[in-house]
A and B are shown apart, each in its own frame.
Chain A
Amino acid sequence: MTKPVNTPTFEMARRSRETSTERFLCAIGIDSDLIEAAVGDLTEEFADRAERDGARAARVWYAREVVRSMPHVILTALRQGGPRARIRLVACLATVLLPFVLTVAMVVLRDGPPFRLAASLANASEGLVVNTMRPIQLPIQAFDRRGHLLESRDVRYRWTSGAPIAISPDGVVSCTQRGDAVVTASLGAITTNLDLRCRPVTEVRASSWVDFMAGDPARDLPFVAIGVDGLPVTQLRGTARITDSSVATLAGTTIRPRAIGQTTVVVDVGDRKALMSVIVHEQVASFVGLRPDQRFVAVPIRVSQGDTVHWALPQGVFWLKYLPRNPGDAPPTITVAGAISCSKGDGLHAFHTLLDVYVVYCLVHPGGATVEVAHGRFGAPIVEGSLALQRLR
């Protein structure tokens, strides 16, 4: 809209020159008679107000009136204008609004001064659990009032109470022993306390094998983290990942078999690592007549006191394992006979692992061999489990 003057030029003839505002309104498709009438009304009332209230008050009124009229002007332009006029209007609106939007965006997105400090922890109530023995940087972050993360290198740290744990002023902590401490982080006048739980892990002990029969329920991964004092550590921060989730899936530290096959689980705790081979076996009635693709098979075993059962073994190289039905159950006596070489020669010399899996590496020569499972006259009335074969070639 045109800016009026306090003493309008007196011209009785129809004006020969329109103001640039009027030309613009005309260009965006508004009827010229409507423009002249509306701008004339504004000018007329401006003159009245300037005389009555003063030029300053009249100018404020005029500006307010222009702003209030703008939505109606735009709607009228959209309704009355042709395609070209509409394009001009949209371009004009974009030109006017873009700086405004950018300014608002800058104000909203601009980082403010530090307002609070917080630790980036998965479970804040447990504090910061440190399982590594090498020095680490405490994860304290600074935020402004709007919650924007600030890049701040000026956070200072000091030990406040608890176990004597070494902390540098810039927040590097070395957990060489088990213990809890409180650390205070500060940035200017802002401070926060952090519960530090040092649980250094020196070793992750895990079973080399995690054996399942197809359809078995999920179970916890068989591993234990050992601290500097030789005792198990229960507060752990780490990851467990599986290389082939079509064979088995992980949910936290629980593993569930999905399909027959073999995969690997890697457990990382602090700066220690453990690998486990996961095998899901197919249940078969015997080891005779296996197809070449049947690489992970197992026969169920159920022998009473004094009973003995035999199976023929296929030719080739394989791992032979006994899987007890329940971990910790006493195993039966297992022997092999025939043209077979196992890791300890003529017999099946099982060794005990964390999972109570009895396993040997065997080679069956042409001519064949058998395995015999026997339960003596002592111990449990019945021994139950599986005899598994993992064929290598």
Chain B
Amino acid sequence: MRILRNRDMFYIIGLMPTPSIGQLELAALLAVAHLDKEAYGLAVRRELAARIGRDYSVGAVYTTLQRLEDKGLLKSRTGDPLPIRGGRSRRHFVLTGAGTRALREAQRNAVALWAGVGTVLRPEAT
């Protein structure tokens, strides 16, 4: 069981700004958002591979998910043990309110940054 820290409480009452996130963290957050209730480590890895074509290692994905949970952007629960996992459980991740806000902010920032660039960039030659 995770112990709530002071900063978690701040997130809960919405006083703290959204923490900064890196590119892989943003991709993992989006993967969790896409997968909804089916978001666990292996599914997130497969989602990332399918969407951005990168084969991240199990260690890299779990380190990222753990970091996002530490930042209060994700929360996790342990499922039932499964035979296909040698009797081990899946760890399911879901977005927190702060995680949802972080995604919205990232989207706003991306839109703002990309605004007008389409007229400058030429289509790539095929």
Q: Is the CB of A65 within 8 A of B86?
A: no
A33-B78, A69-B59, A76-B63 as given contacts; A11 in contact with B42, CB under 8 Å: no
Flag B55-97 by CB within 8 Å of A: 1 or 0 each.
0011110110010000000001010111111111111000000
**Interface: A68 (CB within 8 A):** yes
**Bound Cα distance from A39 to B78, whole angstroms:** 14
A9, A38, A73, A76, most chain B CB atoms within 10 A: A38
**CB proximity of A12 to chain B, nearest CB, Å:** 6
Between A and B, how many residue pairs show CB distances below 8 Å? 99
Asked whether A72 lies within 8 Å of B87 as measured between CB atoms, the reply is no
Contact code string B86-115 (vs A, CB < 8 Å = 1, else 0): 111111000000000000000000000000
> Which has the most chain B C-beta neighbours within 10 Å: A37, A44, A69?
A37
* A75 lies within 8 A of chain B by Cβ: yes
Q: Say if the beta carbon of A220 comes within 8 Å of chain B.
A: no
Interfacial chain B residues near A36, Cβ < 8 Å: 78, 88-89, 91
Flag if B58 contacts A14 (CB, 8 Å).
no
**Cα A41 to Cα B98 with chains together (Å):** 27
**Contact call A43/B59, Cβ cutoff below 8 A:** no
The yes or no answer to A34 lying at the interface (CB within 8 A) is yes
A378: CB under 8 A from chain B?
Answer: no
A47 → chain B closest CB, angstroms: 5
Is the pair A72, B57 in contact by a Cβ cutoff of 8 Å? yes
> A27-41 vs B: 1/0 string, CB under 8 Å?
000010110111111
Which of chain A's residues has its CB closest to B45's CB? A41
Establish whether residues A65 and B57, one from each chain, have CB atoms under 8 Å apart when the complex forms: yes
Chain B residue at minimum C-beta to C-beta distance from A69: B59
A70: B residues at CB distance < 8 A:
59
On whether the beta carbons of A37 and B86 are closer than 8 Å, the reply is no
- Interface positions, chain A 38-73, Cβ under 8 Å from B, are 38-45, 47, 65, 68-73
Closest Cβ–Cβ distance, residue A41 to chain B (whole Å)? 4
B interface list, Cβ under 8 A from A: 40-42, 45, 57-60, 62-63, 66, 76, 78, 80-91
